[in-house]
Structure 1
Amino acid sequence: MSRCPICEKPSNPAYRPFCSKRCADVDLAHWLRGDYVIPGDKAHPTSSENDE
């Protein structure tokens, strides 16, 4: 059985891969704050951003 990536409890199929809505919300908060970063080069500005 898989484990919740936030608290390590067994995951719940209703909230997979998390064990509860609380842990799913904690993970979402990490993404929204920018705690998780996907490595790579910074994106180049689009042409619409340069036109302003």
Structure 2
Amino acid sequence: MARRIEDAGDEADVRPLWQRLAWLVGFWIAGVASLGLVAWLLKMAMRGAGLST
């Protein structure tokens, strides 16, 4: 049976603070790493096209 909106805030469903912070930090690190990878790939593509300084 589907949960009602009023039941969404039950304290029994809330994960511990350390676990929520770990997910937040994990997603932040993954985001920064993916942006770094895209920047590096663009740099390599520009260098390959002869646009290096």
Structure with the greater relative contact order (CA < 8 A, sep ≥ 6): 1 or 2?
1
TM-score higher than 0.5 here? no
The two structures have a TM-score, normalised by structure 2, of 0.31
- Quick check: which has more Rg, 1 or 2? 2
Higher helix share: 2
